[in-house]
Amino acid sequence: MFSLNELAGEVNSTDLIPISQELYNNMNLLRTRYVNGEFVGLTAELTSDKACIAADGSDCLTIQVRVTDWQGQPQTSYNDEVMIDVNGMQQAIKLSKGLATFTLSSEEPGEFMVRTLKLDRNTELKVVVSDGI
């Protein structure tokens, strides 16, 4: 939790971490951890090569996962797994140098959410599957 002090004087407490106005306005600070005097936290970016795919089971959408820190800096040393959830199906994907790609196809038209799980701040991507009507 972070908040703005509107009191006249400075509040000194061992439980409080003073932050700048700039950091206060940065919403990415939410869901970070304060470790050894700095804020840390992993998040991910999900990008796809298409906005929409056909519900024929063969049209494929390629999604790239890029792990970044809470400030959006790519984590090129990240080689662990990231859990991905697609419409309730969950699978761990191994990243290499902070990057991984996976594909998605569907026989069911509609809107589906692709989500990352178990990161400090998770992200999601909406996938539209069109039945071509």
Partner 1 sequence: MASKRVKAVETDIEQLSHEPGAEDTIGGVKPSKPRKLPVPKPTHFHIGADSLRLKQNEIQNRHQDRQKTIATQPSDITNEVLYQMLSDILENQLILEARLQALTHRK
| H helix or E strand, kind and range, residue 21 | helix 21-25
Binding mask 22-61 for partner 1 (x = CB under 8 A): ---------------------------------x-x--x-
Q: Which residue, 42 or 63, is less far from partner 1 as judged by CB?
A: 63
- Cα 87 to Cα 61: distance, rounded to the nearest angstrom: 15
Among 29, 83, 86, 99, binds partner 1 (CB under 8 A): 86
Do the beta carbons of residue 32 and residue 73 sit within 8 Å?
no
Among 112, 115, 122, 128, binds partner 1 (CB under 8 A): 112
CB atoms within 10 A of CB 65: 21
Q: Which residue, 26 or 87, is less far from partner 1 as judged by CB?
A: 87
Answer yes or no whether residue 102 interacts with partner 1 by CB under 8 A.
yes
Answer yes or no whether residue 106 interacts with partner 1 by CB under 8 A.
yes
What type of residue sits at position 64?
Answer: Q
* Structure tokens that stand for 79 in this block: 């080689």
Q: Which residue, 40 or 113, is less far from partner 1 as judged by CB?
A: 113
* Structure tokens that stand for 104 in this block: 């998605």
- Cα 115 to Cα 124: distance, rounded to the nearest angstrom: 4
- Interacting residues with partner 1 (CB under 8 A): 55, 57, 60, 62, 84, 86-87, 89, 91, 93, 100-108, 112, 129
